[in-house]
Structure 1
Amino acid sequence: MQLLRLPDGRDLEYEVRGPSTGPVVLFHHGMPGSAVPMDTVLGSMTARGFRVITYSRAGYGASSPATGRSVADTAADCAFLLSRLGVERYLVVGWSAGGPHALASAAVAPANVEGVLVVASFAPFDARGLDYVAGMGAQNVAQFGTAGQGEPAVHELVGQMASAVRGHASSDVAAEMASLLPPVDLAVLTAEYGADNAVNMDHGLSGGDEGWVADLAALTSPWGFDLDAVTAPVELWHGTADQMVPVTHGRWLAERLPTAQVHLKPGQGHLSLAIGSLGEKLETLSDRTVPLR
């Protein structure tokens, strides 16, 4: 994969897949994750002619850590990357923890982002009227329960969770994540996607747990932008069976994103909603976009 030197001296790891002349898509990965392209995730996009740029958030893979990074800070890193690649207009996709970062991209670079696809996205941690962890599996309840307990508690729990997935086969990962997986997601994780995901996560965690710790801090702190700053068309998708990010998060976001077309899919989970269908979802978004002037 490739490295870009950022203005503050940090390195940002990225990769590009798909046709060189296709519409450009910036893909924001989940938590944990990395720039490693996953065919089971990107294939439906590149097959439809999209050129997909993946990257590793600060602290994951070969991307330098960034102490105290916010969601908006990551979006600014990505805006610089796209600018250096000579891309003026692009779509953004965010899945899971990538969802807030995709919305941030639209807020940080409104003159460049033509549309936003968010799939199974988290809502803000301080979202008024939302019971943040209600409906989450035990692992995520524990993970987000460390917010406010101090860095040692966060590092300890994230270290335990990282050890449970780093270097393990997808079947072992599925066993560790059992409380987060309805049957539809278990079927996805134990099929081809599971192997792709293991490689992606292993690379993200290859230098340690810093990226995961920083992600958790960013998600549970102010994001650094207001949702009403997102003026580009938004396609918002969420599965009603999601046990990683419950559908209540999607409903909360849907009520506060005025440009969002909302798709709440009965019986779909966190993984089943995305694998094999992001390209189709992107085409729906593309139909709504008007080239920015």
Structure 2
Amino acid sequence: MDESIPNRYRLDTDSSATLALPDGRTLGYAQYGLLTGPPVFYLHGLPGSRIEGALFDAPAITPRARIISVDRPGYGLSSPQPNRTILDHAEDIGNLATHLNLDSYAVLGISGGGPYALACAAALPADKLKAVLIICGLGPPEVGKKGMDWWHWIGFTIGFRYFPWACRWWFSRETIGRLDLTDQECFDRFQQECSKAKAKAHPKDIPALGDADLIRWIVRNHREAYRQGFDAGFILDGKLISSDFGFRLEDIRQDLLIRLWYGKDDTSAPQSHGEGIAARLGPNARLRIEDETHGSITWNWRVRALEDLVEVM
């Protein structure tokens, strides 16, 4: 795509960098917002990449936050980690925090990044991790699938775990998964699909489907997500999120402030997941439900949610 065209969301990789981890892997990350502000690690969705943090670039300046957006293994600039667990990524975040000389920080996880935000809550040191924000984040399998649409229900029950080849085939046929297309071809086709989708879309999602800047950013984020193909990042990620997380939410420390934002009309990570997570976390969790979908809860409330996070850090 022609990145010289003005866009509300950053498409560049100027703020991207890598860290050599103790085990020899590379960890990719990018920084957005106010670099002198309170640091917030951003954990992207499924699929996603560090580019996703650009969604919080301009908003981050309002609450004066420093957004550190991290590629999970197999995505973007981060090396694959074939036998990884959800908790392993919390260790990566801890190593990055040390590398950046951060005395304290918060974590923000969206959608598929929700499980990893919970892992950070379970594993990172209390004197460092001050607060956690999860927006429309997926919960562990034991919270159930009430409110999910059929596609997400199938994907997170049997798809990623038992039929990864089918998931790979399906997503590789989607326009934003077509690695044989140029970025511009991908954008042109996806914009046309979004325009056609307006007729059947939820009213809350219609503005996004007509937003060329947002569509261009979504394409850029997905192209980076699939930079190394599908298996090492996306497919393995889906399998991990569909399986036992390897830790109990009930065991997360009770003094950690955790904010949960969910949409009533979200059929990807439904309201029931927010309720199930909050019930298991106990009194340290604060659940907020809005009249939003999976996408609109982020587009419409990201500034307010980030402000809440910064206030409690």
TM-score of the aligned structures, taking structure 2 as reference length:
0.82
Residue 22 of structure 1: aligned partner: 37
Q: Distance in 1 between matches of 2:264 and 2:106?
A: 26
Residue 137 of structure 1: aligned partner: 149
Aligned equivalent of 1:154, options 164, 171, 176: 164
Which of 103-112 and 36-45 deviates more? 36-45
Q: Structure 1 or 2: larger helix share? A: 2
Offset at residue 176 of structure 1 (A):
10
Q: Say whether 1:120 aligns with 2:136.
A: yes
Offset at residue 18 of structure 1 (A):
2.3
Q: Distance in 2 between matches of 1:202 and 1:81?
A: 24
Secondary structure of 1:217's aligned partner? helix
- Describe the shift of the 1:49–1:41 C-alpha distance in structure 2 as closer, same or farther (beyond 3 A): closer
Q: Distance in 2 between matches of 1:176 and 1:76?
A: 43
Give the fraction of aligned pairs with identical amino acids, expressed as a percent: 29
Q: Distance in 1 between matches of 2:201 and 2:117?
A: 24
Residue 12 of structure 2: aligned partner: none
Which residue type is aligned with residue 27 of structure 1?
Y
Residue 102 of structure 1: aligned partner: 117
Deviations 1:52-105 (A, max 9, x none): 101110011121111132211111111111111111200110110111111211
Residue 188 of structure 1: aligned partner: 208
Residue 270 of structure 1: aligned partner: 294
Matches within 5 A, 1:45-56: 45-56=60-71
> How big is the alpha-carbon RMSD for the aligned residues of Structure 1 and Structure 2?
2.3
C-alpha contact (below 8 Å) 1:70/1:221 kept by paired residues = no
- Describe the shift of the 1:8–1:247 C-alpha distance in structure 2 as closer, same or farther (beyond 3 A): same
Q: Distance in 2 between matches of 1:171 and 1:147?
A: 28
Residue 252 of structure 2: aligned partner: 229
Q: Distance in 2 between matches of 1:176 and 1:156?
A: 26
- Describe the shift of the 1:173–1:13 C-alpha distance in structure 2 as closer, same or farther (beyond 3 A): farther
C-alpha contact (below 8 Å) 1:38/1:197 kept by paired residues = no
Q: How many residues align?
A: 280
Offset at residue 190 of structure 1 (A):
3.6
C-alpha contact (below 8 Å) 2:111/2:137 kept by paired residues = yes
Deviations 1:7-64 (A, max 9, x none): 1111111111222321001000000000115543432123321011011100111211
